[in-house]
Chains A and B, each alone.
Chain A
Amino acid sequence: MLILTALFSGLMLLNVGRRRRVVAVLLIGCVAILGVSPPPAQAQLPFCLPCVIQAVLTTITVTIGGWLTQINGVLGKLFSLFTQTVWPLAKTNLAKSQIQSIITRFLGVIQSMMSINPHTATLPNPVSLESIIRNRSTADITSVPQAYAQTFRPVPQPGNIAPQDRDLIDMDDAMAQDNLMMLKESDQSQDLQLQLANQIESLIGNPDINISAPGGAPIITAAAVAGQIQSQAVTQRMLAAMLRQEAARLAHDNAIRKRNAAYAGQLQTDMTNILQHR
């Protein structure tokens, strides 16, 4: 640009008169253009670029890289914890084999003990009743009253016994028969509970990881606990039945005592009357 200005100056000196004015105007134009043209800007950075890049690199390498290394380390430890401490496959398989061992060792023995079902009656009616009350099935539950009556005889006819005694006998019979029927129900319930226990044990001890896995155990445990509640309910039903029976027996004895007291009072009155007549 300085060269161009010098050339314009030279041209101005070379020309005179009208041409000189024209050249001067042109030169002023050039100078004006140069004056208004912004000088090329030399960018000045207000900071140290290498330092900034180094800082970013340090952040990436030390801070983020360090955190990633730590996260990686923690995840690695978690993985080790899961695979070696909490759910080691070997231990899972060991637990299953231990379950299988318990099944093998105890289940057969205990089932053979449970299968002992004595039948010791010898005469036809008792044999029939014994068979019905010990067959662990409710299919023939309605047969109990008939077999019971054949063995223990029915309630005497009204003319053969005092009404109070008939009531007592009928109530005693009812409680006894009800409990025998209740026991048939509980026997069948027990068999179903045993069946359930076997199924749970068999499932949880299955060697296939797609059938039994540690993660499925809480569901089975919860189901088993629900089963325990129901087992308790069955036990309570049996206890209630026993309670009724014991209460009825106590009430029976007490009724006899009441009658004896009445008889004693009557005897005393009769004796007094007899002695007075003499």
Chain B
Amino acid sequence: MNGAKTGVAKTCRWSCRHAILLALVLLLSTIVVPRKVQGQPSPCCALLAEGLGTINITLGSVIGAGLQAINVILNNTNTFLQTNVWPQKAIAQALGMAGQVGGLYAQIARILQIPIATATLPNPKQLETILMSGMSGSAGQISNASGSYAAVYKVVPTPQSASPAVRDLIDMTDAVAQDAMQRAIAIDAIATQELSAADQINANILTAAPGTAPMIEAEADAWLVRANAYTQSALSDLMRVRAIDLADSGAHLKLGSGWAAVTQQNINSTLQHK
């Protein structure tokens, strides 16, 4: 006990003697001693770390798993579509078929362009040339048809040569025959244009994708509707010719009966005069 008291007293005495030195040491210590820092993580940081960890796990389980499931379905769908619906090879085959269609119809178009002309005499030859001119795709020769028609089939008789009834009959029949010939030129020209349009459509199909092919098909359908209408128009012209032909036959009988009655009357008159 006494030793301790003695030690404290010695320390005090030493401190008094070296007070300035101690004060300097303390000053330096004050300067260089590091500030009090929070050495242990605060409860806030621990909470944040735990929360981030939970978020990470949740992201992995909820979003990661969800995205993975979506990826699986999209992959399956992609595989299915590429394998069973739009396989590249099958699309190439379909395009190849479109090419074959084009090739075959080019062949048909060439066949239909084989020149046909068999008339031998000048007038029939000229008329035949005009009648076949539509095959070139132009209906420009239509206006020349009437003159050539008259050169071959002659014109309506003068009033002095035939009765009004006969002249009407002849004129109507000529009109229908000429109309039909002119329509035939137009229909030939239309058919040639349709062949070209179909050829163009077919070329468009070759550059189409499965998704855009229905658009080209719709365009082709429009042309098909149009073509059907032209076919019906040609059929109508044919029916008109047949109708006038039938009317001609009827008119022939009517005129014959009229002439028979007049002849009978004339004979009666002649006999009465005798």
Contact = CB atoms under 8 A, between A and B. Distances in A.
Interface of A: 1, 4, 7-8, 11, 14-15, 19, 22-23, 26-27, 29-30, 33-34, 37, 40, 43, 45, 49-50, 52-53, 56-57, 60-61, 64-65, 68-69, 71-72, 75-76, 78-79, 82-83, 87, 89, 92, 138, 141, 144-145, 148, 155, 164, 166-168, 170-171, 173-175, 177-178, 181-182, 185, 188-189, 192-193, 195-196, 199-200, 203, 209-230, 232-237, 239-244, 246-255, 257-259, 261-262, 264-265
B63 A64 contact: yes
Contacts of A167: 121, 123-124, 151-152
B187 A69 contact: no
B90 A210 contact: yes
Given A15-B19, A219-B213, A240 B66 contact: no
B37 interface: yes
B68 to A, nearest CB: 10
Nearest to B252: A257
B63 A4 contact: no
Interface residues of B, number: 139
A229 B26 CA distance: 109
Contacts of B105: 192, 226-227, 230
Interface in B143-184: 149, 151-157, 160-162, 166-167, 169-170, 173-174, 176-178, 180-181, 183-184
The binding surface of chain B is classed by DSSP as: helix
A148 B118 CA distance: 10
A4 B28 CA distance: 11
A216 B86 contact: yes
Most buried by A among B63, B94, B221: B94
Contact of A254 (B15, B52, B120, B173): B173
A11 B19 CA distance: 6
B24 A72 contact: no
A81 B91 CA distance: 22
A75 B70 contact: yes
B170 A254 contact: yes
A75 B170 CA distance: 77
Contact of B181 (A26, A212, A244): A244
> What are the 9 A-B residue pairs with the smallest beta carbon separation, nearest first?
A68-B66, A53-B51, A215-B86, A216-B94, A232-B227, A174-B119, A247-B180, A213-B90, A222-B217
Most buried by A among B107, B153, B194: B153
Contacts of A33: 27, 30-31
A243 B55 contact: no
Contact of B157 (A145, A177, A265): A265
25 contacts: A1-B30, A11-B23, A15-B16, A40-B36, A45-B44, A68-B63, A138-B114, A171-B128, A171-B152, A173-B118, A196-B100, A210-B87, A213-B91, A216-B94, A219-B213, A222-B98, A222-B213, A225-B201, A235-B231, A236-B187, A236-B194, A239-B187, A243-B180, A246-B238, A265-B160
A200 to B, nearest CB: 6
B188 A251 contact: no
Contacts of A178: 116-118, 128, 132
A107 B105 CA distance: 22
Given A222-B220, A235-B231, A181 B118 contact: yes
B15 A14 contact: yes
Contact of A224 (B50, B74, B101): B101
Nearest to B203: A226
Contacts of A23: 19-20, 23
Contacts of B220: 222, 225-226, 228-229
